[in-house]
């Protein structure tokens, strides 16, 4: 089980994204969301973290903590 979740903004909420954001699919629900610069760095340093869209992160973080990326 993962220790925490990095949230990825959902494309439906943020259609334009931000500078250098990469469009990916949520590993939990498969919907489109944005991987922000720095997320991969954070996950490399914290192998127990996972990234998920904000909606999935909300569900997962009922038992886990949020991680700011
Ligand atoms: Zn999701």
What is the model's pLDDT at position 61?
59
3-state secondary structure of 61: coil
pLDDT at position 21: 96
pLDDT of residue 69: 56
CA of 45 to the centre of ligand 1 (A): 22
How close is the Cα of 13 to the center of ligand 1, in Å? 13
Q: What angle do CA 23, 29, 33 make, to 5 degrees?
A: 20
Distance from residue 44's CA to the centre of ligand 1 (Å): 21
pLDDT at 66: 59
Mean pLDDT per block of 10 residues along the chain (69 residues) reads 82 95 95 93 88 87 59
60 CA from centroid of ligand 1 (Å): 10
Give residue limits of the domains in the chain: 4-67
Integer CA distances (angstroms), 8 to 4, 19, 22, in order: 13, 14, 10
Question: What is the distance in A from the centroid of ligand 1 to the CA of 52?
Answer: 5
């Amino acid at each position: 089980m993962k220790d925490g979740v990095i949230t990825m903004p959902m494309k439906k909420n943020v259609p334009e994204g931000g500078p250098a954001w990469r469009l990916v699919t949520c590993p939990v629900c498969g919907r489109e969301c944005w991987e922000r610069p720095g997320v991969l760095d954070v996950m490399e340093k914290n192998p127990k973290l996972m990234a998920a869209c904000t909606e999935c992160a909300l569900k997962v973080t009922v038992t886990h903590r949020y991680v700011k990326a």
